[in-house]
Amino acid sequence: MDFLEKILARIARRYSLKHCLSGTMKLGERLDREQMKMLRNFFGLTALRENNKQEVRLDFRILLQNGTESQWLEKIGDTLGSPLQPMPANTHRPKRDAVEDILGPLHLAFPELQTLFSLIREDDRSIRSMLSGSSVDTAKKNCCTMAKLVSFLLHNNTPITVSDLGAQFFQNSKALRQGELRTLLVRWLRLITAHAEDIEEPDLLERYHILHYRLTVHAVLYGPIIYEKNGMLFNWIDQLYQEGETAILGWQNIQNIDRIYFQKEEPDVPKLICCENEAPFSNMIQQRTNNCLLFTSGFPSSAVQRLYQLLAHQASSCHHWGDSDPAGLRIAAIMHALHPLQLFRCDLATLKHHKRKLIPLSRQQKNDIMNILENQPDFPFTKELLFTLDNGWLEQENWQPGNCQATGKTTSQSE
């Protein structure tokens, strides 16, 4: 039995136990090129995932977007030479009826969550696990409340703590800190979030403005900034800027700002440059330019995004400097969606002139790029993404001003 047949035999055994193709399944780790080629040829590229441990996993939810369960069972059975028959519809009927009894009313009550409920029907582990530890009535009540919570999060733009959510929706401030309800919330958010398998749980929650503690959300800013709030003028950010220091703004500082603008005594209206990583951000501060710098610290928090929205209209132009790997370009796309910007020191021309500095992509990064290209046809930085796929990615710390002189521009122009 060759490598692919062993994988398919394991899937067949899994199906005989679970009676459905759902969830994800580890296919192996540190697989060689020939093994990966076999898997891609059989399952396609999008359903395969490789994590930081170099574990290759098969995502059945994505697999079933490219064929029904019956079609995949037939294909697996043909390869193994032993037909696989779909389980009868009445297999484990009581639990399946209970799941449908929960989902049916939710479809009618929350039309904006139709996609979520369809995905839960494909992979109903989240509800089944609740039924294992609770009565049907309790599971139904918790799922209905969770649907209300998720619907609220889809329209919420204000940071809220898990304690606030627990108190508001479950009348218990501790309900979502850990345990069954916390697990249900995270599973449902992963189902409705693109590329959620690559996102750590705290980052996933923060995408929906969910915090453990509101005071931990902040943004780091450097620039000649003044703002007005509650009839008072605040110039402390500009004062720190004059001393070559950054300002750290918590969410409370940013709330209810009436007006924000650049110090009028500056000779030119500053550019607004968003920076992904700390060392390059610090280096730009040391250069003492009159640009306004906003530190995203990786994927931008709600505080960073709000500050960017407030300042972007005031700046002479907006830019983003980050790594050119898929994560870095996704960060740039998040900021671009809030207000259009240009890539800075990681645009296509810069990448071409830093070809010797590029880092090879991992399999997971290649998969991430293919997923973006396949699922986001309007991605704003497709040229950089394609170049990175073919040549590797530029780390911010590897950018060097001398490499830009080959364009015919001076260093100051390229910066």
Q: Are residues 128 and 207 in the same domain?
A: yes
Q: Are residues 371 and 356 in the same domain?
A: yes
- Amino acid of residue 114: Q
pLDDT in tens, 25-48: 889 888 888 899 899 999 988 889
pLDDT given for residue 108 in this prediction? 85
What percentage of the chain reaches a pLDDT higher than 90? 39
pLDDT given for residue 119 in this prediction? 81
pLDDT given for residue 214 in this prediction? 58
Q: Which of 182-191, 211-220, 295-304, 389-398 has the highest mean pLDDT?
A: 389-398
Residue 213 has pLDDT above 70, yes or no: no
Q: Are residues 300 and 183 in the same domain?
A: no
**Any domain includes 186:** yes
Q: Which of 101-115, 214-228, 313-327 has the highest mean pLDDT?
A: 313-327
Q: Which residue among 59, 80, 101 closes a domain?
A: 80
**Any domain includes 321:** yes
pLDDT in tens, 267-313: 788 999 999 999 999 999 998 878 999 999 888 877 888 899 999 99
Report yes or no: 31 and 53 within 8 Å, Cβ to Cβ. no
pLDDT in tens, 59-94: 888 888 888 888 898 899 888 888 776 655 444 444
Residue 413 has pLDDT above 50, yes or no: no
**Any domain includes 86:** no
DSSP secondary structure string for all residues of 294-317? EE--SSPPHHHHHHHHHHHTTSS-
Q: Are residues 237 and 371 in the same domain?
A: yes
Interior angle at CA 40, CA 36 and CA 45, nearest 5? 115
**Any domain includes 233:** yes
Q: Which residue among 179, 211, 243 closes a domain?
A: 211
**Any domain includes 223:** yes
pLDDT given for residue 284 in this prediction? 94
pLDDT given for residue 306 in this prediction? 87
Q: Are residues 204 and 293 in the same domain?
A: no
Name the least confident of 108-112, 194-198, 200-204: 194-198
Strand 210-211 to strand 160-161: parallel, antiparallel, or no bridges (unpaired)?
parallel
Residue 364 has pLDDT above 90, yes or no: no
Report yes or no: 324 and 382 within 8 Å, Cβ to Cβ. no
Q: Are residues 66 and 130 in the same domain?
A: no
Q: Are residues 193 and 105 in the same domain?
A: yes
Q: Are residues 219 and 74 in the same domain?
A: no
Range of the domain at 246: 215-414
Helix axes 162-170, 136-155, angle to 10 degrees: 130
Alpha-carbon dihedral sign for residues 414, 330, 374, 378: negative
Q: Are residues 269 and 408 in the same domain?
A: yes
Quote the mean pLDDT of the chain. 84
Enter the tokens of residue 33.
Answer: 């090129």
C-beta neighbour count of 318 within 10 angstroms: 24
Q: What is the mean pLDDT of residues 191-211?
A: 77
| Tokens 């960017």 -> residue | 308
Measured between alpha carbons, how far is 18 from 84 in angstroms, rounded to an integer? Answer: 14
Measured between alpha carbons, how far is 216 from 233 in angstroms, rounded to an integer? Answer: 25
Q: What is the mean pLDDT of residues 394-400?
A: 94
Number of structural domains, the chain? 3
Query: Is the model's pTM score more than 0.75?
Result: no
Q: Which residue among 21, 48, 80 closes a domain?
A: 80
pLDDT given for residue 96 in this prediction? 62
Enter the tokens of residue 407.
Answer: 């364009």
Residue 326 has pLDDT above 60, yes or no: yes
**Any domain includes 133:** yes
Q: What is the mean pLDDT of residues 244-256?
A: 87
Q: Are residues 115 and 258 in the same domain?
A: no
| Tokens 């979030």 -> residue | 193
Residue 155 has pLDDT above 90, yes or no: no
Measured between alpha carbons, how far is 107 from 117 in angstroms, rounded to an integer? Answer: 7
pLDDT in tens, 156-168: 877 788 888 999 9
Q: Are residues 229 and 365 in the same domain?
A: yes
**Any domain includes 88:** no
**Any domain includes 18:** yes
Q: Are residues 71 and 98 in the same domain?
A: no
pLDDT given for residue 410 in this prediction? 32
C-beta neighbour count of 394 within 10 angstroms: 27
Name the least confident of 1-5, 86-90, 162-166, 370-374: 86-90
- Amino acid of residue 190: R
